[in-house]
Amino acid sequence: MDHEGVNQLTRQMSLKKSFRLGIQASLAACSKEDFRKAFSSFSPREQEYIHHFFTQVASSIQESIEIDFEDICREKEVEKVLDTVELLVEEHRLDPLKSNSSEEVLKHLLEIKKLEVNRLMGMVEQGRAEETYQFSY
How do residues 107-126 score in pLDDT, each as one tens digit?
Answer: 888 888 888 888 888 888 88
How do residues 36-68 score in pLDDT, each as one tens digit?
Answer: 899 999 999 999 999 999 999 989 999 999 999
Domain extent listing, the chain: 3-99, 100-137
CB 104 within 8 A of CB 97: no
Task: List the one residue out of 53, 55, 60, 63 whose CA is nearest residue 31.
Answer: 55
What's the chain's average pLDDT?
Answer: 83
- What pTM did the predictor assign? 0.56
Element (H, E) at 96: none
Query: What confidence category does residue 5 fall into, taking pLDDT thresholds of 50, 70 and 90?
Result: low
